[in-house]
Amino acid sequence: MTTGGWITMILSVGFVTVLFIYCVCRVLFGKPPDE
């Protein structure tokens, strides 16, 4: 595994994981939209 491989993997997996967790938290704990 080269340094480039580590960077590609961490950025790719990290991006989708953070996006998923952020979205789920917004859905579960976010304020309901204004009527």
Partner 1 sequence: MPQSKEVWTSRLGVILAVAGSAVGLGNFLRFPGLAAQYGGASFMIAYFLSLLLLGIPIGWAEWTMGRQGGLAGYHSSPGIFHATVRHPLGKYLGLLGFIIPVVVYMYYVYIEAWCLGYALNAATGTFSVAGVDYGQFFATFTGAGADGVALHFGLHDVGLFVLIVYACNFYFIFQGLSKGIEFVCKWGMPILILIALIILARVLTLGTPDAAKPGQNVLNGLGFMWNPRDVAAGLKNPQLWLAAAGQIFFSLSVGFGAIITYASYLKKKDDVVLSSLTAAACNEFCEVGLGGLITVPAAFVFLGAAGIVGQGTFGLGFNVLPFVFSKMPFGDFFATIFYLLLFLAAITSSLSMLQPGIVFFEEGLGLGRKAAMGCLALLTGLGTLMVWWFSKDLKALDTIDFWIGTVGIFIQGMILIIVYAWHIGIEEAWRETHAGAAMRIPGFYQPVMRYIAPTFLLVVFVLFIAANVFGWNFSFGAAAKFTPTNYVTDLVGPKASAVARGSFAFMTAVILLIAWLIHRAGLNWARQSKGNHP
Interface mask toward partner 1 for 1-35; x: CB under 8 A: xx-xxxxxx-xxx-xxx-xx-xxx-xxx-xxxx-x
d(CA 23, CA 25): 5
Least gap, CB of 4 to partner 1 (angstroms):
4
What is the SS3 assignment for 13?
helix
d(CA 22, CA 1): 29
Least gap, CB of 10 to partner 1 (angstroms):
9
Least gap, CB of 3 to partner 1 (angstroms):
9
